[in-house]
Structure 1
């Protein structure tokens, strides 16, 4: 079956459909990863976006249950040069096409993804319409023009109820703005007692959970679209150790008085070089974001830049000069990507231990209130 991808500048790509027979609009972006397509399409940070994979062969190792980063994908389309309908891997449980059909997501193959990527790099990301229908081009252009930028991605991807992943270590409140499973996996692997809470959880509600530290997750969209989260972080800053990842990094910066802006085409892939300024060491990182913290806005804050991107020199890491709080723009949990930066979770736990040692007057409240006990959904991981 034929599929078509129409960009807002009028460019039309015609190829073959390998997903659901439907129509969806979204922001067209590209990812430079060679492997990890399942983790990419199940990353909630891609909510509302049509993903173009620059690597030409996609689908060759299939789909397996263990590699999902969320319960279901939030993407609005998948674009590849060549789709392999028959996977060859001992872990494969079903094909990429089957996954897209199951979740109502259109896919298109056999188009010039190199041309599409070069266009997005030159002109920036743009809205697109991916369809398997036979409507006239003029009708598609009208429907695409009528679409607006999505603003509620965090609400769409965040958990609706708080839940508990028990452990014997530090209690971490993980604020879910569209979190990847990898973050929870890294925390539980270190024995943390994790409570995952919705994006709109207030500072008082977090205090009632008696955390040792607060983890701000990744997530989709513009950080300025979630002002309630910025207010929550601002209120808890200095009260608990805080570690922000990706969107959490941007929200942390905004809470400290910095500013953010949208990148021309974003950073998406598993091979982005990042330099740690304190050691001059370079890490290869996994990234997926459209926005960045403005360097010019840092000078009037109590923030210090800790990492920069070696490609375009944008800010990749921050720490607070006074409080136990830091953040990174990239994904230390990887999935997909290199595991160079997983040490940051250990750094976070060390920060918590130091903070507790220096503040013995703040004992941990082990028991939750009866109200919160009733709300919690317990799930062993």
Structure 2
């Protein structure tokens, strides 16, 4: 494929701006909200992260595909992004323990992707003008038809996507003879979160996004977990109701990313759509309780309202994002409940944030 002439492609933004590129493999068209990730590595984890469902991913690292793919680096069963936009795509890969090329991985998952895009100009444009819907396509002769189709794509604000990525049936993870039992609500859960719980002597039962408190509590768990996931947290009324009941009964509750936002909403604190969101593996966060800094992995387009969180007598802000001072973590003053806006299981620090899992296990004891 790399020696053949590749089909010309475009990226068309909702405001009519066009960037040019070339199809990486197959011809096609893909729609979604365009966003960018600043990580230098970890593209496979990003592409398979359910939190990215429905998004066209722009990678700011100039080279994608260099080290191929490895079956052990999947965060879910398959690719979750809607499409990829990159600068240089590596058809050949160099890595001892790779299981295949990124090109073949895309083909197996039927993902449309384009390269040779001026991603520096594109990211600068998105930073200035905000995340917006877009389309990537090899159908470059029919711009007006693409514009019409793009205008019909729903906006991320108000969009419930957890149901698109959640498990349909409950399942178990870990050793059933473990000391602790955790009931996890899957609103887009990453596999590495489950691995982190399991290696801390916990057995996890994972429930669908709309499971009730009665369903989770029937398993008699020691604690409850609300996962990361895609879309707007506000439409997740069942998850908010679940969080409220767990909090009312003062049972151990931990939330990550979308789960963090759901816990805020359950406490009457609103969330909002960010101009761009945070997506990368070098985001600085300060733990306000210890005064220590953490280098964190983040992936979210919504955030918790800081003024409302500060005004809520039941809450305290535990972590702040040091780039823009948005809320990166909250805890309840008189309940066994805390949450963070970042991903401790990704932990690019590499161990800066792993204490959060230990903190949750301590609540179960």
TM-score of Structure 1 vs Structure 2, range by shorter chain: over 0.9
How many angstroms does 1:193 deviate by? 1.3
Task: Name 1:234's counterpart in structure 2.
Answer: 244
Q: Deviations over 1:28-78 (max 9, x none)?
A: 000000000000010000000000000101100001101000001121111
Task: Name 2:4's counterpart in structure 1.
Answer: none
Q: 2:212 aligns with which of 202, 219, 223?
A: 202
Task: Calculate the TM-score normalised by the size of structure 2.
Answer: 0.94
- Secondary structure of the 1:228 match is helix
How many angstroms does 1:351 deviate by? 1.3
Q: Deviations over 1:299-328 (max 9, x none)?
A: 134111000000000000100011100000
Q: Does structure 1 residue 346 correspond to structure 2 residue 346? A: no
Task: Name 2:316's counterpart in structure 1.
Answer: 304
Change in Cα spacing, 1:63 to 1:337, as seen in structure 2 (3 Å) is farther
Q: Once structures 1 and 2 are overlaid, which stretch shifts more, 49-58 or 160-169?
A: 160-169
Q: Does structure 1 residue 66 correspond to structure 2 residue 72? A: yes
- Separation of aligned partners in 1, 2:308 and 2:22: 46
How many angstroms does 1:219 deviate by? 0.4
How many angstroms does 1:336 deviate by? 6.4
Task: Name 1:286's counterpart in structure 2.
Answer: 297
- Separation of aligned partners in 2, 1:75 and 1:334: 18
Task: Name 1:364's counterpart in structure 2.
Answer: none
Change in Cα spacing, 1:334 to 1:248, as seen in structure 2 (3 Å) is same
Q: Does structure 1 residue 87 correspond to structure 2 residue 93? A: yes
Q: Deviations over 1:204-226 (max 9, x none)?
A: 11110101000111000100021
Q: Deviations over 1:107-141 (max 9, x none)?
A: 11111000110011111001100112244211211
- Separation of aligned partners in 2, 1:19 and 1:187: 38
Q: Deviations over 1:237-265 (max 9, x none)?
A: 14310000000000001101111111100
Q: Once structures 1 and 2 are overlaid, which stretch shifts more, 322-331 or 158-167?
A: 158-167
Q: Does structure 1 residue 50 correspond to structure 2 residue 56? A: yes
Q: 1:3 aligns with which of 9, 21, 43?
A: 9
| Contact 2:282–2:348, Cα closer than 8 Å, also in 1 | no
Q: Once structures 1 and 2 are overlaid, which stretch shifts more, 99-108 or 111-120?
A: 99-108
Task: Name 1:130's counterpart in structure 2.
Answer: 136
Q: Does structure 1 residue 40 correspond to structure 2 residue 46? A: yes
Task: Name 1:171's counterpart in structure 2.
Answer: 181
Q: Deviations over 1:92-120 (max 9, x none)?
A: 22211211222121111111000110011
Q: Once structures 1 and 2 are overlaid, which stretch shifts more, 278-287 or 131-140?
A: 131-140
Runs of 4+ in 1 over 6 A off after TM superposition: none
| Contact 1:260–1:292, Cα closer than 8 Å, also in 2 | yes
- Separation of aligned partners in 2, 1:320 and 1:300: 10
Q: Once structures 1 and 2 are overlaid, which stretch shifts more, 324-333 or 145-154?
A: 145-154
- Separation of aligned partners in 1, 2:100 and 2:343: 27
- Separation of aligned partners in 1, 2:330 and 2:87: 37
Task: Calculate the TM-score normalised by the size of structure 1.
Answer: 0.90
The 5 A counterparts of 1:186-265 are 186-239=196-249, 240-265=251-276
Change in Cα spacing, 1:65 to 1:176, as seen in structure 2 (3 Å) is same
Q: Does structure 1 residue 334 correspond to structure 2 residue 346? A: yes
**Alignment coverage as a number of residue pairs:** 353
- Separation of aligned partners in 2, 1:14 and 1:116: 10
Change in Cα spacing, 1:138 to 1:11, as seen in structure 2 (3 Å) is same
How many angstroms does 1:337 deviate by? 6.6
| Contact 1:22–1:104, Cα closer than 8 Å, also in 2 | no
